[in-house]
Structure formats: structure tokens, C-alpha cells
């Protein structure tokens, strides 16, 4: 599947004040694997340098606590931007996956409404929402299982087109989410255990190296002492 690699946002500060030879410099090109130096503040995006410049100018005019705190908490607004952009890419992954896996050229509006309700946890029986990255990962892992269900239904005379199968599969995935979370938690526990084992192995190797080095130093010291005694008593 072809994934989206970048997205453009408009800097709410330099969009208005910075022009170079008639060209607006307010566009922020953000890459999926490098979401840096972008700020999300009051639902507006900024280059990090532009945001600091704007805050300092506002403080110079009038020392409002809002802008002083904005600079102090700038890391939080960087994290907010990263979270929002990652969510955008994750939702786009879900969108492209649906088009490709269900041979659709457009996603029906009712399906989009259902997807957004799944993200928000508003489907009947849901206790929490399903984040886009979880939905996409679970969908990929379950696609063979979902296709088996579809084939079984087809042999029983229950025909479904791409859009109908998509909605049916979404219902199945929602019902499987608790199991997916349990599996995900087990993976995290296993990963933590593996990391602990790896750390212990490295520590044992280091201790063995230190012990060997100490023995070598001790042997070297003994040899030096023997040489000294031989010199004294020869």
C-alpha cells in the first residue's frame, strides 16, 4: 500500500508577516518520520521559531501571562503538534487501506460517520474509542480472518459488495478490540521481559570483562613484584 509521506500546514504567524519576493513563506512541510519544530497552539500551527518570535513581540508590547507561559510550556505545544500530525497520518493509513482492500474508489459517507464514531467510542457496546493506529494494525492482522467470514457467508448465499463488506468487517473489528488490547498488553510484557533479559546478559558480560581485567591486572602486578624481588636479591 502506498502511504502518505508528508503533509502541509500553514504557519499562522509567518503566513501574515513574512513575504519573500511576493512568495508567502507560511507553509510548513511536515514529513511522517520527522515531525520536528512545529507548534500547535490554540488550534493553530506555527514554525517553532515563528512562535517564539511572536510570543516575544507580544511580551514586549504587554507582558501578558499567556505568552510568558506559552514560552515556558513550549514543549507541550510541540508534543500537541506531533500528536495531531501522527493522528492525521494514521487516519490516512486507514483511508488508503479501505480503498485498496475493498476495491473502492470512494468511501461512502455513512461509512465515514461510522469510522468517526469508532474513533470516538460512540458505537453501542464500546467502552472506549479505537485510535486510528490500533484500528489499522488490527485490521491488517485480521484481514485473512475477515475474508474467511466473508467466504463462509458467500457460500451460504449472503452476498456483499465492497462497501457492505467494509461495514460488516468494521462491526467485527469493534467486537474484537478487547481481545486485541489483551494481546497488545501481552506483547508489551514480553518485550519488557526480553529487554530485562538482554540487559542482564549485557551486565553479566560487563562483569566478566571486569573480572578478567582485574585478574590480568593482578597477574601483571605479581609479575612486576617478582621482577623487583629478583632484582633486589640477584
Phi, psi of 123 (to 5 degrees): -80, 140
73 and 10 in a common domain: yes
Residues 149-174 pLDDT 10s: 999 988 888 888 999 999 999 999 99
Q: What is the mean pLDDT of the chain?
A: 85
User: Given a cut of 80, is residue 79 above it in pLDDT?
Assistant: yes
**What pLDDT, on a 0 to 100 scale, did the predictor assign at position 203?**
61
Q: Is residue 149 part of a domain?
A: yes
106 and 83 in a common domain: no
Q: Is residue 163 part of a domain?
A: yes
Q: Is residue 192 part of a domain?
A: yes
Distance (Å, rounded) from C-alpha 50 to C-alpha 70? 13
Q: Is residue 168 part of a domain?
A: yes
For 59, the domain range is: 1-92
Q: Is residue 142 part of a domain?
A: yes
Mean pLDDT to the nearest integer, 66-93: 95
Q: Is residue 222 part of a domain?
A: no
132 and 153 in a common domain: yes
Instruction: Find where cell 506531533 sits.
Output: 82
2 and 72 in a common domain: yes
Number of domains in the chain: 2
155 and 123 in a common domain: yes
Mean pLDDT to the nearest integer, 140-151: 94
Domain boundary pick from 57, 92, 127: 92
Question: What would the grid cell of residue 140 be?
Answer: 491488517
If pLDDT is split at 50, 70 and 90, which confidence band does 226 have? low
Residues 29-76 pLDDT 10s: 899 988 999 999 999 999 999 999 999 999 998 878 999 999 999 999
If pLDDT is split at 50, 70 and 90, which confidence band does 15 have? confident
Whole-model pTM above 0.85? no
Q: Show contacts of 107-113: CB within 8 Å, 24+ apart.
A: 107/166, 108/163, 110/167, 111/163, 111/166, 111/167, 111/170
Distance (Å, rounded) from C-alpha 34 to C-alpha 75? 16
88 and 111 in a common domain: no
Q: Is residue 87 part of a domain?
A: yes
**What pLDDT, on a 0 to 100 scale, did the predictor assign at position 2?**
77
Q: Is residue 214 part of a domain?
A: no
Amino acid at each position: 500500500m502506498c502511504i502518505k509521506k508528508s503533509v502541509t500546514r500553514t504557519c499562522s504567524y509567518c503566513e501574515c508577516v513574512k513575504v519573500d519576493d511576493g512568495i508567502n513563506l507560511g507553509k510548513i512541510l511536515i514529513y511522517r518520520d520527522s515531525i520536528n519544530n512545529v507548534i500547535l497552539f490554540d488550534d493553530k500551527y506555527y514554525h517553532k521559531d515563528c512562535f517564539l518570535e511572536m510570543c516575544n513581540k507580544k511580551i514586549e508590547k504587554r507582558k501578558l501571562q499567556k505568552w510568558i507561559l506559552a514560552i515556558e510550556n513550549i514543549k507541550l505545544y510541540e508534543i500537541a503538534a506531533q500528536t495531531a500530525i501522527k493522528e492525521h497520518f494514521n487516519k490516512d493509513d486507514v483511508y488508503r487501506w479501505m480503498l485498496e482492500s475493498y476495491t473502492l474508489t470512494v468511501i461512502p459517507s455513512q461509512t465515514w460517520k461510522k469510522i468517526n464514531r469508532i474513533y470516538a467510542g460512540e458505537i453501542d457496546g464500546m467502552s472506549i474509542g479505537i485510535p486510528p493506529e490500533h484500528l489499522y494494525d488490527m485490521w491488517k492482522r485480521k484481514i485473512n480472518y475477515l475474508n474467511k467470514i466473508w467466504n463462509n457467508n458467500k457460500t451460504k448465499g449472503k452476498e456483499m459488495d465492497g462497501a457492505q463488506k467494509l461495514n460488516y468487517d468494521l462491526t467485527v473489528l469493534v467486537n474484537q478490540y478487547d481481545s486485541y488490547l489483551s494481546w497488545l498488553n501481552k506483547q508489551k510484557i514480553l518485550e519488557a521481559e526480553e529487554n530485562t533479559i538482554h540487559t542482564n546478559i549485557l551486565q553479566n558480560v560487563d562483569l566478566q570483562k571486569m573480572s578478567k581485567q582485574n585478574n590480568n591486572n593482578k597477574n601483571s602486578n605479581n609479575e612486576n613484584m617478582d621482577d623487583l624481588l629478583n632484582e633486589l636479591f640477584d
